[in-house]
Amino acid sequence: MPQAELIDGKAVAASVRDEIARRSRDLLKAQGVKPGLAVVLVGEDPASQVYVRNKDKMAQAVGFHSVKHTLDAGTPEEDVLALVRALNEDPDIHGILVQLPLPAHIDESKVLRLVKPEKDVDGFHPINVGLLTAGERSAALVPCTPAGSLVLIKRTLGPDLSGKTAVVIGRSNIVGKPMASLLLQESCTVTIAHSRTRDLPDVVRAADIVVAAVGRPQMVRGDWIKDGATVIDVGINRIPAPDLGPDKTRLVGDVAFDEALGHAGAITPVPGGVGPMTIAMLMSNTLTAARRQLGLGEDIPAF
C-alpha cells in the first residue's frame, strides 16, 4: 500500500514568511511604516517563553517592529489591563498578542476582550469571532492555527475545496470552531466531532479532509482514515519514550501517525506540520492589521 504524502509545514511557512517580508519592505518603502507587533508574556511558563521567543524572532526576520513585554507571574490584573490599554493607543503597534495561559488570578476573557479588535492578531476577540462565523472573513482577523491549516489543505488539494466532506475533531474556540467556519466558507460539508461523538471512527471514515484538534495523543487511529484523505494533525502532545532512554519523551499528534501513513493521501507530521504555519499566519495577520489601520486595504495574498 502506498504511503501518504508528507505535508511539509516548514516549507510552506517559509514561503509565506518570504511573501510577508517582501510586502513588509514594500510598506516601509511606500509609507515609512513597519508593521508593529507587541507580545505580552505574564509569568515564566517554559513553553510560553519558547513560543514568545520564536514569535519575536520571526517578527524581526520579516521586518516588523517587534516589542516584547515580560511581566512577573504575580503582576496584578489591573497592571496587565493597563498595559493592554496603552498598547491599544500606541500608533506604532498594529497587533497585540497576549500569550496564554495567563496566571490563575488574571481573567483571560477580560484581558482578551480589552484588546482592540483591529489589533487582535490572535483572532480571539468576540467581534472577530462573530465576523468569521457570519462569513465576513475579509473583515475579520482569523485565528492563526486554523488559517494556517487551511493554507496547508489548499496547497495539498488545490484552491477549490467545494463539495469536499470535512470532519473537524475538536470544538475549541481557538481551533475547532473557527476551522469549521473556514471550511464552510470553502463550500465543504463540515461535521464538528469531539471525544464524545457516537461512532466517531465511522464519522471520520466519511471525510475527505480530517482536522484533528482534540488534544489526546494518537487518539485518531489509522483505520479511521478514509483511503486518500488529507489529514491535518493540530495536536502537540508529549508522551513517554522509554526507547530513547529513562525519563525521555517525544512529541506526537492527535493522530496515530505511523498507522495513518498507510491510509491517508497526505498528512502533516508532528512536529513540522501545523506548528510553523501558526507563527507564519501571525505575521500575516499583523501585516493585514497594519494595512487596515493605515487605510490601505488588504492586498494580502491567499497563499
> pLDDT > 90: what percent of the chain?
89
Q: CA nearest 212: which of 235, 237, 180, 181?
A: 235
Active-site residue, from 34, 99, 120, 208: 99
| pLDDT of 51 above 90 | no
Mean pLDDT in residue range 33-51: 92
Evaluate if residue 302 carries a pLDDT over 70: no
**pLDDT at site 170:** 97
- Asked if residue 48 has pLDDT above 90, the reply is no
CATH for 31-116 (3.30.1280.10, 3.40.50.10860, 1.10.760.10, 1.10.3720.10): 3.40.50.10860
144-276 carries CATH number 1.10.340.30: no
**Contact indicator for 296, 35 with CB cutoff of 8 Å:** no
When pLDDT is cut at 50, 70 and 90, the band that residue 303 belongs to is: low
pLDDT band at 301 (very low <50, low <70, confident <90, very high): low
29 is catalytic: no
Assess contact for 260 and 237: CB atoms under 8 A. no
What does the domain layout of the chain look like in residue ranges? 31-116, 144-276
Look at 106-115, 225-234, 294-303 and tell me which has the smallest mean pLDDT: 294-303
pLDDT per residue as tens digits for the range 264-282: 999 999 999 999 999 999 9
3-state secondary structure of 137: helix
pLDDT in tens, 134-158: 999 989 999 999 999 999 999 999 9
pLDDT of residue 297: 75
Which residues 6+ apart lie within 8 Å of 98 measured at CB?
39, 40, 42, 80, 84, 111, 112, 115, 122
Torsions phi, psi for 283 (to 5 deg): -65, -40
Which residue in 34, 120, 122, 208 is the catalytic one? 122
Q: How confident is the model at residue 208 (pLDDT cuts 50, 70, 90)?
A: very high
Q: What is the pLDDT of residues 158-182, one digit of tens each?
A: 999 999 999 999 999 999 999 999 9
pLDDT score of 300: 57
Quote the pLDDT of residue 43. Answer: 94
pTM (two decimals): 0.95
| pLDDT at 1 exceeding the cut of 80 | no
Domains 31-116 and 144-276 agree in fold: yes
Q: Is the pLDDT of residue 22 over 70?
A: yes
Average pLDDT of 207-228?
97
- Of 55, 164, 177, 226, the active-site residue reads 55
Q: Which of 92, 141, 147, 146 is CA-nearest to residue 120? A: 141
Output the CA–CA distances (angstroms, integers) from residue 187 to 57, 162, 180, in the order listed. Answer: 36, 4, 11
Distance from C-alpha of 43 to C-alpha of 112, rounded to nearest angstrom: 17
Residue 122 known to be catalytic? yes
160 annotated active-site: no
Average pLDDT, the chain: 95
pLDDT at 102 over 90: yes
Query: Hey, how many other C-beta atoms are within 10 angstroms of the C-beta on 48?
Result: 17
